[in-house]
Structure 1
């Protein structure tokens, strides 16, 4: 019986020897994903599955399980709930293991027993597409002075989103002008002072490009002169669609496609401030922030309301995917430098989203906070293979 007990726990099956009861299992129907076909495959068909450290993915999965059990205080736009019943069941099986740090082998058995892999084949394209993101860390000031002149704005009270709260990072935004509703101020109008004097300034930065990259990433850590670190999170935008300025630089022949990165964008903006300012204004979208508590060692918060794990958390299209779902990514990426590709074969957990993350096989890989993760994230614009791990079982809803 001692040999049977771990197997039953990993499989998520009820047994008298379990430390806590798990409800009867009901098989989950094959999942569906808009604009893609899902092809069932075996775990042995996943390149690099046997070499990955699934224990790291297991720990990140447990973080999502906490959000499924209790809604966090800071939650972003919601994802589709299609896989939630199955994920709740898998979370119960994960907790039944009795440890948040199983061995890689036990973690691998857990995922193989509780999930079924489906290769995501997007319509019209041969592969998925990956980018990277990170949490910027920049110097700032709580007050304006000669060095810090670029304001970070909180959400204005007159901002009226045209989309429901669960779609807050998409859709338009308006403001009232007399008896009419008109589009909200765009980036140029805000930079020219449309919001000045309202007391919306949270902090001040040295350079406009720092704010621009903060708005692309959706969060930041601001190092204040007194040693404190201010954590800022996304709190809405002005309703204009996001325009990737890197694509504009490529189209105009200003930066070769193979050299495009966030570092190259920064170089262009800083080398010619007037041209850089005009470039940034072509992205009329403007993001607002709010200050949130920063616990020691805490990572950036994803839309699921949980701290993100570098190398294991991804942002997905929340209109298609479910937060907490495991997705295996296989790609060759420039992790060590811009001139060499390294194999990236990792089980990731969907915990975040973004307005530019659109499509069934589209993801942003989270690399952490600071300059080095930012350099790696800025190099990622590469194809990749996506495999959704859909739950095998969900709890029996019958009393």
Structure 2
């Protein structure tokens, strides 16, 4: 099954999924149920994800609501593996580069911060500015469905929003927009990269900031910048080595950080369940080891994905059922994933080391899968 401009989907029996029988399907069901809460609350005619293009037809929420109602039943909890096998059809995903793609990791940092500017807490995390606008290009041209641009109006013209350097130099007023003040500017920068953080406040309490918007400027990985400058090699670059280099080269730190023109804005949130991560782009709290960030242009948030990749420290592949519940600026491609590790330093160490080839199998509700298979056969 293939869209001419998109990935190939190959029907796969559950028994042929590598490692299927050995997974903890109950943990996957818990993550999927969180997405189902949102799916069941949506109008049945709404597409599952408005930002997803037509490369894979994920259908409407109405196509998913029957299986979501089943997911919340006692029977699904009693036999989670059987629930997925009865309710879904798996498809291997292959894109123009083949069946494997890059799998990385991300996490929620825990950083020292204050809700007021004081003492060592001098680097702001900013709320979304009132003049920042996002345009859905699909409303102007259907071929651009899922593509957006961000900017603001100046003298009747829609112009790009200020980049990281301009914001650092005062293009926005932190006195009006700061939701928190961070002790370490490098911690603040990596909070932008991860999209959220737990804040360890001076009184010992914990707060959280989560992604609200971004300025729309291109994302540039500073690891790539340091490789191009000859400061690090491809073999040694990692989150830890980048942090070490920045600490050892304070005079060059700002220019390196500002090479990434993308800038993220935040809102403050409660930590209601310490075992879960922040709310992802899919509108639900992320589950460590079960939530996956994907390219939303291709994959709809809320869909289960069978995942295979070698995780840091392992010699063999991890094979497990995850749920597409987040996205990111650097996640581009039909076989491209970002594995959510959880919160804190240990999760950050794993996320920073993760860079592996991996494979995807998407799971579609059986009725939707049958319609797609029949349509693809008629188009041959």
Mapped pair 1:317 → 2:295: yes
- Residue by residue over 1:239-269, the C-alpha shift from the partner in whole angstroms, topping out at 9 and shown as x without a partner, is 2011111122233432222322211111121
Mapped pair 1:192 → 2:169: yes
Structure 2 stretches lacking a partner, 5+ long: 43-48, 370-380
Mapped pair 1:82 → 2:58: yes
Partner of 1:244: 221
Partner of 1:183: 160
- Aligned mates of 1:34, 1:364 — CA distance in 2: 23
1:359-374 paired onto structure 2 within 5 Å: 359-374=333-348
User: Contact 1:132/1:378 (CA < 8 Å) preserved in 2?
Assistant: yes
Partner of 2:110: 137
User: Contact 1:127/1:383 (CA < 8 Å) preserved in 2?
Assistant: yes
Q: Report the Cα offset of residue 353 of structure 1.
A: 1.2
Partner of 1:225: 202
How much is the aligned-residue C-alpha RMSD, in angstroms? Answer: 2.5
Partner of 1:390: 364
Q: Report the Cα offset of residue 188 of structure 1.
A: 0.7
Partner of 2:326: 352
- Aligned mates of 2:69, 2:3 — CA distance in 1: 24
Structure 1 stretches lacking a partner, 5+ long: 1-29, 72-76
Q: Would the alpha carbon gap of residues 66 and 112 (structure 1) be closer, same or farther in structure 2, given more than 3 Å must change?
A: same
Larger helix fraction of residues = 2
1:1-399 paired onto structure 2 within 5 Å: 35-70=6-41, 78-80=50-52, 82-83=58-59, 84-98=61-75, 101-102=77-78, 106-163=79-136, 171-196=148-173, 198-297=175-274, 298-334=276-312, 336=313, 341-393=315-367
Structure number with bigger Rg: 1
Q: Report the Cα offset of residue 171 of structure 1.
A: 3.9
Q: Would the alpha carbon gap of residues 178 and 379 (structure 1) be closer, same or farther in structure 2, given more than 3 Å must change?
A: same
Q: Report the Cα offset of residue 43 of structure 1.
A: 1.7
Secondary structure of the 1:282 match is coil
- Aligned mates of 1:280, 1:38 — CA distance in 2: 39
Q: Report the Cα offset of residue 190 of structure 1.
A: 0.9
User: Contact 1:89/1:394 (CA < 8 Å) preserved in 2?
Assistant: no
- Aligned mates of 2:155, 2:85 — CA distance in 1: 60
- Residue by residue over 1:191-231, the C-alpha shift from the partner in whole angstroms, topping out at 9 and shown as x without a partner, is 11222355111111112111111111111111111222221
Q: Report the Cα offset of residue 162 of structure 1.
A: 3.6
Q: Would the alpha carbon gap of residues 265 and 203 (structure 1) be closer, same or farther in structure 2, given more than 3 Å must change?
A: same
Q: Report the Cα offset of residue 88 of structure 1.
A: 1.7
Q: Would the alpha carbon gap of residues 65 and 179 (structure 1) be closer, same or farther in structure 2, given more than 3 Å must change?
A: closer
Q: Report the Cα offset of residue 78 of structure 1.
A: 4.8
Secondary structure of the 2:253 match is helix
TM-score, scaled to structure 2:
0.85
- Aligned mates of 1:258, 1:306 — CA distance in 2: 36
What is the count of residue pairs matched by the alignment?
Answer: 352
Q: Report the Cα offset of residue 393 of structure 1.
A: 2.1
- Aligned mates of 1:324, 1:33 — CA distance in 2: 25
User: Contact 1:79/1:321 (CA < 8 Å) preserved in 2?
Assistant: no
- Residue by residue over 1:156-198, the C-alpha shift from the partner in whole angstroms, topping out at 9 and shown as x without a partner, is 112233447999x964333344454432211111111222355
Secondary structure of the 2:204 match is coil
- Residue by residue over 1:64-94, the C-alpha shift from the partner in whole angstroms, topping out at 9 and shown as x without a partner, is 11111126xxxxx854372433322211222
Q: Would the alpha carbon gap of residues 170 and 283 (structure 1) be closer, same or farther in structure 2, given more than 3 Å must change?
A: farther
Q: Would the alpha carbon gap of residues 229 and 126 (structure 1) be closer, same or farther in structure 2, given more than 3 Å must change?
A: same
Secondary structure of the 1:234 match is strand
Q: Would the alpha carbon gap of residues 107 and 346 (structure 1) be closer, same or farther in structure 2, given more than 3 Å must change?
A: same
